[in-house]
Amino acid sequence: MTVFDEWLDFLPSLLTGLGVSLRLTGLCMLLGLPGGLILAIGVSSPVRGIRYVGLCLVEFGRGLPALVLLQFVYFGLPQTHVILSPWVSAILALSWVTAAYTSEAFRGAINSVPRGQSEAASATGMGKWDSFRFVIGPQAARLVLPSLMGFTILIFQTTSLAFTVTVSELTNEAYTIGSQTFRYLSVLVLAGVIYAVIAAPAAHFVRRYEKKVSKPFA
Partner 1 sequence: MDSVGFVLAGIPTTLLVTVGALAIGAVGMLPLAILRVSRVRLIRAIAIFTIDIVRGIPPIVWLFIIFFGLGTNVIHLSPLTASIVGLGVISAAYFAEILRGGINSVDRGQREAAAALGISPFHGFALIVLPQAIRSALPAAATFSIGLLKDSSIASTIGAPEVLYRAGVDAGASFEPLMSYGIAAGFYLVVSLIAAWATRRLDAHFRRAVS
Residue of 31, 175, 209, 210 that binds partner 1 (CB under 8 A)? 175
Residue 214 makes CB contacts below 8 A (sequence gap 6+) with 146
Q: How far is the CA of 20 from the CAs of 15, 71, 86, 173, in angstroms? A: 9, 19, 13, 10
Residue 199 makes CB contacts below 8 A (sequence gap 6+) with 153, 156, 157
Report d(CA 122, CA 6) in Å as an integer: 65
Could you give the string, one character per residue 121-160, with x where binding to partner 1 holds by CB under 8 A and - elsewhere?
Answer: ------------------------------------xx-x
Restricting to residues 34-93, name those near partner 1 by CB under 8 A.
59-60, 62-69, 71-72, 75-80
* Shortest distance (Å) from residue 60 CB to partner 1: 7
Say if CB 70 and CB 162 are below 8 A apart: yes
191: nearest Cα among 37, 70, 16, 51: 16
Nearer to partner 1, 96 or 121 (CB): 96
Nearer to partner 1, 22 or 126 (CB): 22
* Shortest distance (Å) from residue 55 CB to partner 1: 12
Site residues (vs partner 1, CB under 8 A): 59-60, 62-69, 71-72, 75-80, 157-158, 160-161, 163-164, 171, 174-175, 178, 182, 184-186, 188-189, 191-192, 195-200, 203-204
